[in-house]
Chains A and B, each alone.
Chain A
Amino acid sequence: MIKGFAGRVLEIDLEARTFAFRPLDEDIARLYLGGKGYGTRLLYDLTRPGIDPLGPENPLIFATGPLNGSLAPQSNRFAVVCKSPLTGGIGSSACGGSFAFGLKKAGIDVVVVQGRSGVPVRVEIDGDTDAVRFLDASDLWGLGTGATQKALGRGMHHAVIGPAGENRVLYAGIVSDARIAGRCGVGAVMGSKGLKALSAQGTRKLEMADEAGFKTYTQWVRQVFKGHPVLGEKLRRFGTMGIVNTTNGRNMIPTRNFQAGHHPGAMNLSGEYLEDHGLVGVRSSCLHCPVACGREVEVPGAGRVKGPEYETAGMMGTNLGITDLAEVNRWNWMADELGLDTISLGVTLGFAMELQQRGLLSTGLTFGSPEGVAEMIEAIAHRRGMGDELAEGTRRLSLKYGGKEFAMHVKGLELSAYDPRGSFAQGVEYATTNRGGCHVQGASMYFESTGPLTINPQNLKLKAELPVVQQNLACAVNSMVLCIFTTYGLIPRQVHALKPSGWVHRLARVLFENSGPAYRWIMSGKLLQVTWMDKWLSRVTGMRITSGHLQEIGARIFNLERMYNLREGLTGADDTLPDRILHEPLYKHMTSGHPLDRLLPQYYRLRGWDEHGVPLPETLRRLKVRL
Chain B
Amino acid sequence: MTITVELTYDMAKVLGTRSIPMEAPRTVAEVLREARGRFGDQGEAFDRMAGVAAIAVNGVLVAHRREGVRLADGDLITFVKTASGG
Asked whether A588 lies within 8 Å of B52 as measured between CB atoms, the reply is no
CB within 8 Å: A-B pair count = 118
A587, B59: Cα distance in complex, Å: 7
A188, B34: Cα distance in complex, Å: 56
Whether A221 is near chain B, meaning CB under 8 Å from some CB there, is: no
Give the residue name and chain of the B residue nearest to A310 (CB): B85
Asked whether B60 lies within 8 Å of A587 as measured between CB atoms, the reply is yes
Across the interface, which residues of A come within 8 angstroms of B10, CB to CB? 272
Interface residues of B in 23-68 (CB under 8 A from A): 51-56, 58-61, 63-64, 66
Contact (A251, B81) CB under 8 Å given A500-B54, A501-B51: no
A450, B82: Cα distance in complex, Å: 5
Contact of B8 among A245, A250, A273, A484 (CB under 8 A): A245
Interface residues of A in 252-274 (CB under 8 A from B): 252, 261-262, 264, 267, 270, 272-273
Contact (A249, B6) CB under 8 Å given A261-B59, A501-B66, A588-B58: yes
Contact (A267, B18) CB under 8 Å given A246-B81, A454-B63, A501-B51: yes
Asked whether B82 lies within 8 Å of A246 as measured between CB atoms, the reply is yes
Across the interface, which residues of B come within 8 angstroms of A246, CB to CB? 80-83
Asked whether B79 lies within 8 Å of A249 as measured between CB atoms, the reply is yes
A262, B80: Cα distance in complex, Å: 13
Number of A interface residues at 8 Å Cβ cutoff, please give it: 53
The B interface is mostly helix, strand or loop, or mixed, namely mixed
Asked whether B83 lies within 8 Å of A242 as measured between CB atoms, the reply is yes
Across the interface, which residues of B come within 8 angstroms of A506, CB to CB? 63-64
Across the interface, which residues of B come within 8 angstroms of A451, CB to CB? 82-84
Whether B12 is near chain A, meaning CB under 8 Å from some CB there, is: yes
Asked whether B9 lies within 8 Å of A454 as measured between CB atoms, the reply is no
Asked whether B56 lies within 8 Å of A488 as measured between CB atoms, the reply is no
Tell me the minimal C-beta distance from A502 to chain B in angstroms. Answer: 8
Asked whether A245 lies within 8 Å of B80 as measured between CB atoms, the reply is yes
A439, B66: Cα distance in complex, Å: 29
A238, B82: Cα distance in complex, Å: 13
Across the interface, which residues of B come within 8 angstroms of A505, CB to CB? 63-64
Contact of B9 among A250, A273, A485 (CB under 8 A): A273
Tell me the minimal C-beta distance from B65 to chain A in angstroms. Answer: 9
Tell me the minimal C-beta distance from B4 to chain A in angstroms. Answer: 9
Asked whether B83 lies within 8 Å of A245 as measured between CB atoms, the reply is yes
Whether A202 is near chain B, meaning CB under 8 Å from some CB there, is: no
Tell me the minimal C-beta distance from B27 to chain A in angstroms. Answer: 15
Across the interface, which residues of B come within 8 angstroms of A307, CB to CB? none
Whether A234 is near chain B, meaning CB under 8 Å from some CB there, is: yes
Asked whether A251 lies within 8 Å of B59 as measured between CB atoms, the reply is yes
Across the interface, which residues of B come within 8 angstroms of A488, CB to CB? 84
Tell me the minimal C-beta distance from B82 to chain A in angstroms. Answer: 5
Tell me the minimal C-beta distance from A532 to chain B in angstroms. Answer: 17
A230, B10: Cα distance in complex, Å: 17
Asked whether B85 lies within 8 Å of A450 as measured between CB atoms, the reply is yes
Tell me the minimal C-beta distance from B55 to chain A in angstroms. Answer: 8
Contact (A450, B84) CB under 8 Å given A245-B9, A499-B51, A501-B51: yes
Across the interface, which residues of A come within 8 angstroms of B85, CB to CB? 240-243, 309-311, 450
Whether A235 is near chain B, meaning CB under 8 Å from some CB there, is: yes
Whether A358 is near chain B, meaning CB under 8 Å from some CB there, is: no
Q: Identify 7 residue pairs between A and B in the complex whose beta-carbon atoms are under 8 Å apart, listed by A's number.
A: A241-B85, A245-B8, A246-B80, A272-B9, A273-B9, A488-B84, A501-B64
Kindly list the 8 A-B residue pairs having the minimum CB-CB distance in the complex, ordered from nearest: A251-B59, A243-B85, A249-B78, A249-B80, A310-B85, A272-B9, A240-B85, A500-B54
